[in-house]
Amino acid sequence: MIMSLRPPFKIPGRPFYHYEIDRKRRSLKTADKAEAMRLFNAIKQLYVNGKISRLTGETAKISLGEFAEEFLNWSEQAQPKSTYNVNRHALNALMAVEGKSIRLDRITPKSIDKMIANMSSGKTVHGRIKKRNSRETINCYIRTLKSVFQKAKEWEYYRSSPFLSVKQLPKEFKPPNYLEQKNVGDYLGSIKDKGLCLFVTALLATGRRRCELLYLDWADVDMERRRYYVRQQKTHLERWFPMSDDFVAVLQEIGPQEEGKVFRLGHPDTVSKKVKQTLIDAGFPNHKLHDLRHSFAVLFIQAEGGLRTLQELLGHTQIQTTEIYAHVADDHLTEAVNRVKLVVNSGPHLKLVK
């Protein structure tokens, strides 16, 4: 059989680019020509090196380490940096228990179980106690590996991904950490760096995620209509949000500009460390930057805001994500129910309010 590849092309009436491998048509699942070429070139390299099976039904003889290297090379070019980093960490966690030399076709659901056990343990490694990973981190790696090995299937390393049946760990309910209303003023007043204080105030006033504010550009701020546009790596999450009075005050203090980043505080990780230090200095050592988002949500509920509205303001795609604040709403209902007064006293003869 003559082996052949056909570069990306479009089929009339279909949005995505396709390519052909040995006369078998496959979708690249992108409508962007530049991205289609990047994907195709990565596949072409695998094809030339004999890493992709040629419709024989046989699994290509490639090790986990070789696949990880090839996949990460592709991911670095074709995906956002944050996605690439998660892919790298998840593959490293898998290779930590299976090794780099294991053949790819010998990876099974048991490999995930071994990874979970390793990440959940507190064993001593090289004389140091290894930190146990949270269920959230483990589930993130499981989701990532399911996606990574689905790509391996698309590259014809597998007929079916070995992780299709793998399920995530049951989620642990942990009430969100937050600042109480009475502590907010003192905390903000304790931050000496004015730029950092304005950023923290913006976090508390909007409930935005760290990078949603750090990447906010003046071009996406509409002071006249009191709204701002949040850009996401997933375009279906991009949208306009209304400005609160507090957020307007922050922006006016910084000074509206024609262009450029609103908050110029450096790398996101550096900002997180600085905010963490301000929380420690203010007497909240168990809090972190993301807890300011939780603080906004709790304060919103305590101000009689509803969960559905909060879902919209936080940008959650599913109400289940917002329901971690439901216990706050329940506490608020317990307080609110006594606003209706019918009885003056609780003696043997009840007297109703006239």
Q: pLDDT of 304-330, one tens digit each? A: 888 899 888 988 888 888 887 877 766
Active site residue 33: no
User: CA gyration radius for the chain?
Assistant: 26
pLDDT at 54: 45
In the predicted model, what is the mean pLDDT of the chain? Answer: 84
Least confident of 102-106, 140-144, 196-200, 244-248: 102-106
pLDDT at 3: 55
DSSP 309: H
**CA–CA gap between residue 288 and residue 186 (Å, rounded):** 17
Q: Which residues of 225-235 are buried (b: 16+ CB within 10 A; e: fewer)?
A: eeebebeeeee
Judge whether residue 13 has pLDDT over 60: yes
Active site residue 215: no
Instruction: State how beta strands 5-10 and 124-125 pair.
Output: unpaired
Residue 350's pLDDT band (cuts 50, 70, 90): low
* Catalytic option among 88, 290, 327, 332: 290
Residue 136's pLDDT band (cuts 50, 70, 90): confident
CA 228 → CA 238, 242, 250, 315, distances in Å? 11, 7, 13, 13
Active site residue 182: no
**Average pLDDT, integer, range 194-205:** 95
What percent of the chain is modeled with pLDDT above 70? 83
DSSP 168: P
* Catalytic option among 126, 182, 234, 267: 234
**Crossing angle between the packed helical segments 135-154 and 81-98, to the nearest 10 degrees:** 90
Active site residue 158: no
**3 state DSSP class of 243:** coil
**Average pLDDT, integer, range 234-261:** 86
Judge whether residue 346 has pLDDT over 80: no
pLDDT tens sequence across 101-122: 998 888 999 999 999 999 988 6
* Catalytic option among 38, 146, 208, 209: 209
Judge whether residue 214 has pLDDT over 80: yes
pLDDT at 334: 64
pLDDT at 58: 44
Judge whether residue 285 has pLDDT over 80: yes
pLDDT at 60: 53
**DSSP element (H, E) containing 21:** strand 17-21
What percent of the chain is modeled with pLDDT above 90? 46
* Catalytic option among 146, 210, 287, 293: 293
pLDDT tens sequence across 36-89: 888 888 888 777 666 555 443 344 578 999 999 999 999 998 888 888 999 999
pLDDT at 41: 85
pLDDT at 67: 92
Active site residue 290: yes
pLDDT at 55: 43
pLDDT at 1: 39
Cβ atoms of 151 and 71 closer than 8 Å: yes
Active site residue 141: no
**Average pLDDT, integer, range 183-200:** 94
* Catalytic option among 231, 316, 327, 332: 316
Judge whether residue 204 has pLDDT over 90: yes
